[in-house]
Amino acid sequence: MGDKQPQNYNAGLPFNVFKRIQAELNTTQNKVLLGLTVAATAGFLGYVTYVRHKYERLGYYLAFREDGSKEFVKRTSNWET
């Protein structure tokens, strides 16, 4: 009778609660979708950066119109006018 250890029922409680709340993150299907989403976002940001760099190399700059919209405008030299 005296050699029995008291049981600790709260030992795994925080982990089990977190595991049940965030159970949808542990499925394989969601990990695949998350990976595809990260890859698509990285591809989109890379493409936008590439196009912006390409236009700047061609001599365009981003100008703001009076109504607040943005437009790429070709740079002109003051010596040409």
Is residue 2 very low, low, confident or very high in pLDDT (cuts 50, 70, 90)?
low
Domain that holds residue 52: 13-74
Query: Residues 24, 40: contact at Cβ < 8 Å?
Result: no
Question: What is the C-alpha to C-alpha distance for residues 43 and 29, in angstroms, rounded to an integer?
Answer: 21
Say if 3 falls within a structural domain: no
For the chain, how many structural domains are there in total?
1
Indicate whether 27 belongs to any domain. Answer: yes
Asked whether residue 7 is assigned to any structural domain, the reply reads no
Asked, for residue 21, whether it belongs to a domain, the answer is yes
Q: Is residue 2 part of a domain?
A: no
Determine which of 5-9, 18-22, 47-51 has the lowest per-residue pLDDT on average: 5-9
The span from the CA of 22 to the CA of 52, in Å, is 39
Q: Is residue 81 part of a domain?
A: no
Is 33 a member of any domain? yes
Q: Are 75 and 60 in contact (CB under 8 A)?
A: yes
Q: Is residue 80 part of a domain?
A: no
* 31 three-state secondary structure: helix
pLDDT at 30: 76
